[in-house]
Structure 1
Amino acid sequence: MIDDEILNKYLEAGKIAKECREFAAGKVKAGAKILDVVVESEQKILSMGAGIAFPLNISLNEAAAHDTASPGDERVFKAGDVVKVDLGVHIDGYIADTAVTVDLGKNDLLVEASKAALHAAIDMVRPGVRTGQIGAAVQAEIESRGYRPVANLTGHGLGQYLLHGIPTIPNVGMQGGTELEEGMVFAIEPFASTGSGIVSDASRTEIYSQISSRQIRLPSARKLMKIVAERNSLPFSRHWYYEEKSDLAIAQLVKQNILRGYPVLHDVPGSLVSQAEHTMIVTDDGCIVTTV
């Protein structure tokens, strides 16, 4: 069970996340700079009194997740782009994670596939249901529209300063899985693809998080870690702390297994991926969706 104080923090995070998601999605237009959308949207989260749980993900076309603006990013949205806008908000570490797809082309059915899969999944959430059953519902909605669910991306449990916990919510059917219990908090995020339905790491990495603590020799790396440690292991963006030696510092910290990178995840070139995501809390007879 979740006590009232923590519940209120989850609900407040969800309310802010919804507003900021809609704000960010409204900024996605052909010709707009990705960097501008990221900076303005992240600033809005902070201006509303919340923390940024992870950098605003702006992932285009075959990219499904983990892309964001790089330092000095000159990329702009183009007509025809399928844009995933994925953001996280926290209040004292209690997280709301939500995403929407903005279609700058003619891909209504693809966008509908992930959205319908999310709604079908939410309708199933209640104590006693197993995550494999939810995955089957997601898969059925996406495949019924002629697309592939992304099999190696999942929804995930949420906790205080914890982005990827139990349960894992698959996007394909499977036997068994975790049995849902009252008080569980998690995000469900179906991805529908015109490609293979399997994502892999791209060469581009813009997002990192701290995974350990140990002695650091490089002065620029020590300086960076003093700031990063305040994130309580939540991910950060390379562009947030960018200066002359920051890339060298990050490379050294990754080599020492102090930081881990989150490469952009993409399906095959030329494919398109849509995403929809909400955060929810399991109740005795269903769930509260915090990000609607």
Structure 2
Amino acid sequence: MKEEIFDRYIQAGAAAKKILSRGADLIKPDITLIEVATFVEDMIQNEGFGVAFPVNISLNEAAAHDTPSPDDTRTFAPGDMVKLDIGVHLDGYIADTACTVDLGNQPLLCEASIAARDAAIAAVKPGVAIGTLGGVVAHEIKSRGFLPVANLTGHGLDQYCLHKGPNVPNIPGAGGAILEEGMVLAIEPFATTGTGFVHDGKREEIFGQLVRRPVRLPAARKILKEIEERNGMPFARRHIHVKSADLALSRLIHDGIIRTYPVLSDVPGSYVSQAEHTMIVTSDGCIVTTV
């Protein structure tokens, strides 16, 4: 990896660490979700970085992909388990990090995802099969009486690319990709009191561009112009400042130009915790950029 690229990853990681901590401190009963999301995204940009994806604020059984809508009035409540997942980039080089804020009394569930993340990081080095990391994650979570979320994974990162191979499983697997020096990974275990599987919900507030091609609808053209600088990275409905945005988004989705990221949830009444760091694989281990 070139030194200038390495430096960008390190700078993005340091910023992400600070901003995640500040955002998590805001999460308290009666505070609105949109207040936290706005604070985090404003801070990322005020610090001189870019927002790699809309701030994810996922409650209780929701594991990922929830973000406030433009007119969101939801507030945090006592007992909530809140996942705060943020992405910071510098010239497209991304730091992806997340934590869980427990507004109830489930410290062991939070500990399960943290311990799984840290144990997996400790196992990272060139030559290790990716399936080995899944086994480490699952062991730490199951030993505390919970289940790993089997159909969510960590992932590789690249410039302007949030999800590049290899995927980092949360369950054991034979073989798989072999870690190599210079790989950039986001390891993000999810521990759950539910079934261990998430499903697509009806709520869709995050979108991503799949292809570039001409469109006829003027509002759709304006949306594509607004998101052009994102280079394919996800955006939120609340980021769009175009009249008739909902109609235009529906057309872009129908035409296969834009995709949705539905909220991913375990069964109602369950709770999910998450912990995540970004790291660069080195010759003898890894450097974690978000600590």
TM value normalised by structure 1: 0.99
- Kept in 1: contact 2:219–2:242 (CA 8 A): no
Is 1:281 aligned with 2:284?
Answer: no
Q: Separation in 1 of the partners of 2:27 and 2:250?
A: 31
- Kept in 2: contact 1:100–1:276 (CA 8 A): yes
Deviations 1:28-60 (A, max 9, x none): 000000011100110000000000000000000
Letter of the 1:55 partner, please give it: P
- Kept in 2: contact 1:147–1:192 (CA 8 A): yes
Equivalent residue for 2:180?
Answer: 181
SS at match of 2:15: helix
Letter of the 2:88 partner, please give it: V
Letter of the 2:150 partner, please give it: A
Q: Separation in 2 of the partners of 1:241 and 1:178?
A: 38
- Kept in 2: contact 1:71–1:242 (CA 8 A): no
Equivalent residue for 1:141?
Answer: 140
Deviations 1:64-88 (A, max 9, x none): 0000010110000000000000000
SS at match of 2:263: strand
Equivalent residue for 2:42?
Answer: 43
In the TM superposition, what are the counterparts of 1:156-195 in structure 2 within 5 Å?
156-195=155-194
Q: Separation in 1 of the partners of 2:4 and 2:11?
A: 11
SS at match of 1:204: coil
Is 1:270 aligned with 2:264?
Answer: no
Letter of the 2:143 partner, please give it: S
- Kept in 1: contact 2:184–2:280 (CA 8 A): yes
Letter of the 2:197 partner, please give it: I
- Kept in 1: contact 2:147–2:191 (CA 8 A): yes
Equivalent residue for 1:215?
Answer: 214
Return the offset for 1:240: 1.0
In the TM superposition, what are the counterparts of 1:22-101 in structure 2 within 5 Å?
22-101=21-100
Provide the identity percentage. Answer: 57
Equivalent residue for 2:103?
Answer: 104
Alpha-carbon distance change, 73 to 21 in structure 1, aligned in 2, over 3 angstroms: same
Supply the RMSD in Å over aligned alpha carbons.
0.6
Return the offset for 1:229: 1.5
- Kept in 2: contact 1:127–1:284 (CA 8 A): yes
Letter of the 2:22 partner, please give it: F
Return the offset for 1:242: 4.4
SS at match of 2:86: strand
Equivalent residue for 2:112?
Answer: 113
Return the offset for 1:213: 1.3
Return the offset for 1:89: 0.4
Q: Separation in 2 of the partners of 1:16 and 1:217?
A: 40
Q: Separation in 1 of the partners of 2:228 and 2:258?
A: 11
Q: Separation in 2 of the partners of 1:261 and 1:43?
A: 24
TM value normalised by structure 2: 0.99
Equivalent residue for 2:153?
Answer: 154
- Kept in 2: contact 1:210–1:229 (CA 8 A): no
Deviations 1:109-165 (A, max 9, x none): 000000000010000000011110000000000000000000000000000000000
Letter of the 2:41 partner, please give it: E
Q: Separation in 1 of the partners of 2:68 and 2:197?
A: 24
SS at match of 1:136: helix
Number of residue-to-residue matches in the alignment: 291
SS at match of 1:128: coil
SS at match of 1:134: helix
Letter of the 1:75 partner, please give it: R
Q: Separation in 2 of the partners of 1:188 and 1:209?
A: 22
Is 1:199 aligned with 2:198?
Answer: yes
Deviations 1:248-274 (A, max 9, x none): 111110001100000000000000000
- Kept in 1: contact 2:132–2:173 (CA 8 A): yes
Q: Separation in 2 of the partners of 1:142 and 1:188?
A: 14
Return the offset for 1:244: 3.6
Q: Separation in 2 of the partners of 1:24 and 1:240?
A: 19
